[in-house]
């Protein structure tokens, strides 16, 4: 008879320690929050249990003698194209626990990544390229509703715009830090994003967990979020940010709500979210005051009234099959910005089956939404922001060519400060001090150091964006937005090409 859960016998990672190099310093014992390593009094040496390893590689990174190697467990099940090892292990886990499988981060499955099947155009003789080191290159982006036409009047100082533009967000680069709530990640990371956004002239999103009182001073670079749970939402919070985002859905878990375990609700999170200390924070699947576009319209204008029409209001939805029609309704309801979040978007916690099997790639959905808004003649009335699987500056440029005004990055930002995508964010034991509120673990993230790394990432991508624009013979983001003629598809069928609105390579 088995004396332990069967799933423990088929663990994912194997820890190997070179005992000749190991000096039993116990650094690995102190660094691992999952108790993979332990001190054995009888043997007077460090021992380990590979079944507990989640593959974060922190022990490898910090081992002073480099004696540790963490690799995938080479043990394999009999080859079977239907019953792969992943499904067998999942069945073992659910038979052991009777619970829902949970995962963090984004979908890891081998599904098409359309960014990799799109190539950018380049200038040659007839359309000379532009050198961004010697010629002006405009990466500044404005998010918000634009009028159908502009009217000017002559004044002694020269032509002056008649009327008043809707509130706009001004980004020095078409990149923002995506919604990651206080509680899902800790205060140190929220502060780091605020500092980095301020330094680089972009914005960060609070996520649905409210805004810590000490971060209000960074409000001019903050987007505050209103989600179904209304955590931390009050008048001062709404007025603290530069824009307000209504979260209807997210790419990692379309159609369902959220759950922040009580273990992650410490005193500061409790105060900010306005929930009892140690209690679970449950976000309902729907907003209980939104069951139609008309209901959404009421909330949009309630938020505009509460902030005296001084801030743009954004609406975030997951990439789903009818997102284009939904986005059209959102714009007609008065939203200034529409955010589309693809199925590769990251999360602190989601049911594994939903994360990996629900939603659409952001590339296809973004192109469909941009085309629908143009066909309806309302594209100028709202900006589009793409998120969910943006990995590099080339993805940013391709997203803009497909119709985005800017992008959100989440997982890329976390990787920049040390995340290794181990996917165990929901446990609250993040070895890198990111998705945790445990005092000893969150100290591993210094907000000033993390802010510098995030700012470096944005600036590096900004330089690369300028180079790519120059290589295409363009000198501004505005000239690229929705310009699908600057893209060509490789290895795509005709339906995919038509959905993306691009030509095949060679055409």
Annotated binding site for [4Fe-4S] cluster: 22, 25, 28, 32, 53, 56, 59, 63
Helices (H) and strands (E) in the chain, counts: 16, 23
102 CB contacts (<8 Å, ≥6 apart)? 349, 350, 351, 352, 426
CB atoms within 10 A of CB 303: 20
Instruction: Report the C-alpha gap between 503 and 226 in whole angstroms.
Output: 39
**SS3 state of residue 503:** strand
Annotated binding site: 22, 25, 28, 32, 53, 56, 59, 63
Instruction: Report the C-alpha gap between 419 and 198 in whole angstroms.
Output: 22
Per-position DSSP letters for 115-137, written without gaps between them: GGGEEE----SSS----TTTS--
**358-386 burial, b for 16+ CB within 10 Å, e for fewer?**
bbbbbbbbbbbbbbbbeeeebbebbbbbb
**SS3 state of residue 318:** strand
**Which residue(s) pair with 476 in the sheet?**
138
Question: Roughly what angle, to the nearest 10 degrees, separates helices 293-306 and 323-332?
Answer: 40
Instruction: Report the C-alpha gap between 260 and 310 in whole angstroms.
Output: 32
């Amino acid at each position: 008879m088995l004396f332990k859960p069967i799933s423990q016998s088929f663990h994912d990672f194997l820890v190997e320690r070179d005992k000749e190099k190991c000096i039993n310093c116990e650094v690995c014992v102190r660094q691992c929050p999952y108790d993979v390593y332990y001190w054995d009094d009888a043997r007077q040496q460090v021992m380990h249990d590979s079944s507990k390893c989640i593959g974060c590689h922190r022990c490898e990174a910090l081992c002073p003698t480099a004696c540790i190697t963490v690799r995938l467990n080479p043990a394999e099940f009999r080859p079977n194209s239907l019953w792969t090892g992943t499904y067998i292990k999942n069945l073992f886990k659910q038979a052991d626990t009777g619970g829902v499988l949970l995962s963090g981060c984004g979908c890891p499955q081998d599904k098409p990544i359309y960014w990799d099947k799109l190539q950018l155009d380049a200038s040659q003789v007839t359309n000379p390229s532009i050198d961004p080191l010697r010629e002006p290159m405009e990466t500044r982006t404005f998010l918000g509703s634009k009028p159908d036409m502009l009217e000017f009047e002559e004044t002694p100082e020269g032509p002056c715009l008649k009327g008043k533009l809707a509130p706009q967000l001004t980004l020095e680069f078409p990149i923002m830090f995506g919604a990651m709530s206080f509680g899902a990640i800790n205060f140190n990371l929220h502060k780091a994003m605020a500092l980095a956004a301020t330094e680089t002239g972009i914005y960060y999103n609070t996520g649905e967990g409210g805004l810590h009182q000490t971060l209000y001073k960074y409000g001019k670079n903050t987007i505050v979020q209103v989600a179904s749970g209304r955590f931390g939402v009050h008048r001062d919070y709404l007025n603290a940010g530069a824009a307000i985002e209504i979260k209807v859905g997210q790419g990692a878990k379309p159609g369902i709500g959220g759950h922040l375990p009580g273990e992650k609700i410490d005193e500061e999170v409790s105060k900010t979210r306005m929930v009892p200390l140690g209690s679970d924070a449950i976000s309902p699947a729907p907003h209980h005051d939104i069951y139609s576009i008309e209901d959404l319209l009421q909330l949009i204008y309630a938020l505009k009234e509460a902030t005296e029409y001084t801030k743009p209001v954004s609406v975030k939805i997951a990439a789903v099959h009818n997102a284009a029609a939904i986005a059209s309704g959102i714009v007609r309801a008065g939203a200034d910005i529409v955010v589309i979040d693809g199925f590769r978007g990251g999360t602190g916690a989601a049911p594994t089956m939903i994360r990996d099997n629900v939603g659409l790639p952001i590339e296809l959905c973004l192109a469909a939404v941009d085309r629908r808004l143009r066909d309806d003649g309302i594209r100028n009335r709202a900006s589009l922001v793409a998120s969910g699987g943006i990995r590099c500056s080339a993805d940013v440029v391709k997203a803009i060519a497909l119709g985005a005004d800017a992008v959100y990055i989440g997982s890329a930002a976390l990787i920049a400060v040390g995340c290794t995508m181990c996917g165990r964010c929901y446990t609250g034991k993040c070895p890198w001090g990111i998705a945790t509120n445990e005092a000893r673990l969150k100290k591993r993230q210094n907000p000033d150091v993390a802010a510098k790394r995030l700012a470096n990432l944005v600036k590096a991508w900004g330089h690369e964006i300028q180079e790519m624009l120059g290589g295409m013979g363009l000198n501004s983001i505005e000239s690229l937005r929705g310009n699908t003629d600057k893209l060509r598809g490789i290895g795509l069928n005709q339906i995919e090409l038509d959905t993306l609105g691009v030509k095949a390579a060679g055409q």
